Amino acid sequence: MPGDRFEGFASASTGTAIPNLFFSRIAPTLSGPDALLAFLWLAKVSQAVRGTVRAATAEDIWLDDGAAGAFEALGSGRDGLDAGLKECVEKKATLALDLAGPGGPTRYFFVNTPESRRTIARIKAGEIQLRPSTIPVEREVAPSAPAIFKLYEEHFGTLTPFVGDRLLEVAATYPEAWVEEAVREAALARAKNWRYVERVLDRWTREGRTYETPGRNTLEEQKQRFLGGRYGHIARSS
């Protein structure tokens, strides 16, 4: 029981295997305790499943002994479990498979191992079934926001529709590396206005980036690259 005093692990207690790469490659990138708990509990619950299919639903995890208490105490409760599982899938630490059947749609989660990938392939091929009378379905994935949106919010704050339109135009005109470097320059200058970034990009278009390799990205090449974009008038007037 949660309130009982813990006296230590038994020598023959059941364990849960966690891949070593999780600690070095995945754990440092997780946004918070919800994703960490989601992965650990998925590993525990799925490994306890008997048979060839080692998977679990969010409900399976939530009902496991201690899971709800851990998410309530350390994370964001039931919503945190769902968010954590979603993040783990996005980071490819886990895999998700949607099944459609008489009982309604159900999403199963797997720790991303070679065995899990083979199992999912067999399920999709119809060789094995997770539940009777169910078939795997592809879930529509919403397009992710452009990277430039995240870059803006990290350095300048809340994104408005007007600013979003300007960012999309900039992203379509300049190389991603240029935009990232211009944002870093704005940060070093303690500039809090996106217009500063645009001025930096305008200047580089006209004058070139002085630290680039000679013979590459010359002014003439830059003019040709940007003649058709929103900032083409800058190159044509140079």
Residue 213 pLDDT exceeds 80: no
Q: Which of 76, 102, 137 is the last residue of a domain?
A: 137
Side chain identity at residue 19, one-letter code: P
Residue 201 lies in a domain: yes
Q: Which of 89, 117, 137 is the last residue of a domain?
A: 137
Residue 231 pLDDT exceeds 50: no
pLDDT in tens, 106-155: 999 999 999 999 999 998 888 888 877 777 876 654 455 677 888 888 88
How far apart, in whole angstroms, are the C-alpha atoms of residue 184 and residue 74? 34
Domain containing 93: what range? 20-137
Confidence of residue 219 (pLDDT cuts 50, 70, 90): very low
Residue 164 lies in a domain: yes
What is the model's pTM? 0.58
Q: What is the DSSP letter of 214?
A: T
Residues 6+ positions from 212 with CB-CB distance below 8 Å: none
Question: Which burial class, exposed, middle or buried, applies to 140 when counting CB atoms under 10 A from its CB (0-12, 13-18, 19+)?
Answer: exposed
Residue 8 lies in a domain: no
